[in-house]
Amino acid sequence: MSKTLTPRQREILKFISQHIDQHGFPPTRAELSKHFGFRSPNAAESHLRALDGKGVIQLERGRSRGISLTPLAGAHLPEPPRMELPLVGRVAAGSPVLAQENVEDALRVDPALFRPRPHYLLRVEGMSMRDAGILDGDLLAVHRTPEARDGQIVVARIEDEVTVKRFRRDGHRVQLLAENPDFAPIEVDLRHQALAIEGLGVGVIRHRLDA
Amino acid sequence: MSKTLTPRQREILKFISQHIDQHGFPPTRAELSKHFGFRSPNAAESHLRALDGKGVIQLERGRSRGISLTPLAGAHLPEPPRMELPLVGRVAAGSPVLAQENVEDALRVDPALFRPRPHYLLRVEGMSMRDAGILDGDLLAVHRTPEARDGQIVVARIEDEVTVKRFRRDGHRVQLLAENPDFAPIEVDLRHQALAIEGLGVGVIRHRLDA
DNA sequence: GCATTCACTGTATATATTTACAGTGAACCT
DNA sequence: AGGTTCACTGTAAATATATACAGTGAATGC
């Protein structure tokens, strides 16, 4: 649970981050004060203590420029072009796909490889998409969106179950098609059953080939 | 031409880099002196001036910890684990797979995702490996090695043609098997034909899914 | 044999930096 | 109306830090 920052604290944090980018080291209290127009270095000190208390920075006592950003800071900063994608394994029933408990790892794969840009990788279970070249254990790159068009490969949630299928819609009747003759299509009537599109499959990574 | 550093200067540079990694900011002269056992802060100062002069760091006068690494520093530091893999498209006849002319791009994919570690990505052409979930246009992560065992997916070169197939060997008779009944196995007699194993397929990346 | 470079010691000092303490005023909650 | 939080002012002082100047000794190049 990342505690929320005040708007002012966000500005301070942003400046610290920028200063590190530009100079290679964090600012002093005086430099912070100069930038924000504080007449007292204590204004900066107080902000730093607050940011430290909220866990987004870490202060080292007695050392000049003893400020470092913690991983928590990332959540409050205009995010730098991400180089990692979270890997989601089995999705616990009822939890959001990207809930902490579902995230197994972060893989260093450039999201720019895929279009549209994926938000996470989902480990595929089962062979229902075999003929689309998506096999058991493959990682599906998923772009989060609730919209899907006919023929797209979607990550869908039906009654708390998350599944990967090809999408087809006809009015309030939706078909989720497997790409494997051994699996029957799933038919959903939107008037009677809940169906949520979690996202679109935009790519596949297979990180082991069996002999 | 990056000027060469003395061994001692390399040590200093390495320590500065490590300090930044660990603390988020560069060391002071005193901290450098403490680490290296200097009894005078001027020993550190001199080293910093030298490193500045050689362009691997940049000093900001009058500011505590006013040290930043320049791009030149990278050449003198133990290189950070590579994050990119070259993408090889169509391989020109007779040229090494990784020849400049065959490399189309460098993709930011962590090689550590795959085992053993791949050396490049090869764009697969054709559907001969369809039933192994390797489709036309897929990128095959390839680990360079001339050794292959039965059942492994290999990148092979026969008479200047590069192809991806499943490997099977029986004495001096090698079979290269497609994973698609529409394609006949390729039979090679090592006594009469040249066969080179370029590498092993260790993973697949599909960066577009068609609707 | 002498100049040069490298890697330091030793001392000193101005100044950069952190950090404590004592307040103020506005906004918000109840 | 009173308490709390937020965002500051203002002052002071200890101490952390950069940096100048004057040396030493060993190794290297010519």
Containing domain of residue A22, as a range? 7-76
Whether B209 has its CB under 8 Å from any CB of chain A: the answer is: yes
Q: Are B94 and B198 in the same domain?
A: yes
What is the rounded distance in angstroms from the CA atom of residue A106 to the CA atom of residue B175?
Answer: 39
Reported as a pLDDT band with limits 50, 70 and 90, residue A67 is: very high
Q: What is the pLDDT of residue A4?
A: 82
The bases of strand D with some atom under 7 A from any protein CB are: 6-12, 15-22
> Are residues B190 and B121 both part of a single domain?
yes
Please say which residue of B59, B76, B93 terminates a domain: B76
When pLDDT is cut at 50, 70 and 90, the band that residue A1 belongs to is very low
SS3 of chain B: CCCCCCHHHHHHHHHHHHHHHHHCCCCCHHHHHHHHCCCCHHHHHHHHHHHHHCCCEEECCCCCCCEEECHHHHHHCCCCCCCCEEEECCCCCCCCCCCHHHEEEEECECHHHCCCCCCEEEECCCCCCHHHCCCCCCEEEEEECCCCCCCCEEEEEECCEEEEEEEEEECCEEEEECCCCCCCCEEEECCCCCEEEEEEEEEEEECCCCC
B200 and B100 in a common domain: yes
Q: What would the mean pLDDT of A91-111 be, rounded to a whole number?
A: 83
Same domain, B104 and B51: no
Q: Which residues of B touch A151 (CB under 8 A)?
A: 211
Statement to judge: residues A201 and A135 lie in one domain: yes
CB contact under 8 A, A206 and B208: no
A25 shares contact with chain B (CB less than 8 Å): yes
A39 is a domain residue: yes
pLDDT at residue number B211? 63
List all residues of chain B from 41 to 70 with a beta carbon under 8 Å from chain A. 58, 60, 64-69
DSSP letter at A33 equals H
Shared-domain flag, residues B94 and B173: yes
Contact residues, chain B, for A109 at CB < 8 Å: 108-110, 113
Tokens 């960066």 correspond to: B207
**The predicted structure's pLDDT at residue B97:** 84
Chains A, B: CB pairs < 8 Å: 118
What value does the mean pLDDT take over residues A168-195?
Answer: 94
Query: How far apart are alpha carbons B3 and B72 in whole angstroms?
Result: 10
Residues from chain B contacting residue A69 (CB–CB below 8 Å):
24
B148 and B201 in a single domain? The answer is: yes
Q: What's the pLDDT at B159?
A: 84
Where a domain ends, among B36, B54, B76?
B76
C-alpha to C-alpha distance for B107 and B115, rounded to whole angstroms: 18
- Are residue B127 and residue B179 in the same domain, yes or no? yes
CATH code at position A36: 1.10.10.10
Domain boundary among B24, B49, B76: B76
Q: What is residue A174's three-state secondary structure?
A: strand
Q: Is residue B18 part of a domain?
A: yes
- What is the pLDDT, as a whole number, of residue B3? 65
- Does residue A105 lie within any of the structural domains? yes
Residue stretches of chain B with pLDDT short of 70? 1-3, 81, 211
Confidence at residue A109, expressed as pLDDT on a 0 to 100 scale: 92
Q: What are phi and psi of A204, to 5 degrees?
A: -135, 140
B128 catalytically annotated:
yes
Residues of chain B positioned with their CB less than 8 A from the CB of A60: 23
Max Cα-Cα span within chain A: 74
Tokens coding B67 = 């040290």
Q: Could you tell me the two tokens for A39?
A: 């007449």
Quick check: B114 and A207 CB within 8 A?
yes
Same domain, A99 and A201: yes
Give the total number of structural domains in chain B. Answer: 2
The whole-chain average pLDDT of chain A stands at 90
Question: Quick check: A126 contacting B, CB < 8 Å?
Answer: no
Residue B166 CB partners (closer than 8 Å, separation 6+): B129, B132, B151, B152, B153, B154, B176, B177, B178, B179
Which domain CATH number covers B143? 2.10.109.10
- With cut-offs at 50, 70 and 90, classify the pLDDT of residue A81: low
Same domain, A17 and A117: no
Residues A66 and A159 in one domain: no
Q: How far is CA B33 from the centre of its chain?
A: 37
Based on the fold, state whether residues A51 and A133 are members of the same structural domain.
no
**pLDDT computed for residue A2 by the predictor:** 47
Nucleotide lying nearest to A11, CA to C1' measure = D7
Flag if B109 and A114 touch (Cβ within 8 Å). Answer: no
Indicate the pLDDT class of residue A195, thresholds 50, 70 and 90. Answer: very high
Separation of alpha carbons A143 and A141, rounded Å: 7
Q: Residues 33-72 of chain B: which lie with beta carbon within 7 Å of strand C? A: 33, 36-43, 46-47, 50, 62-66
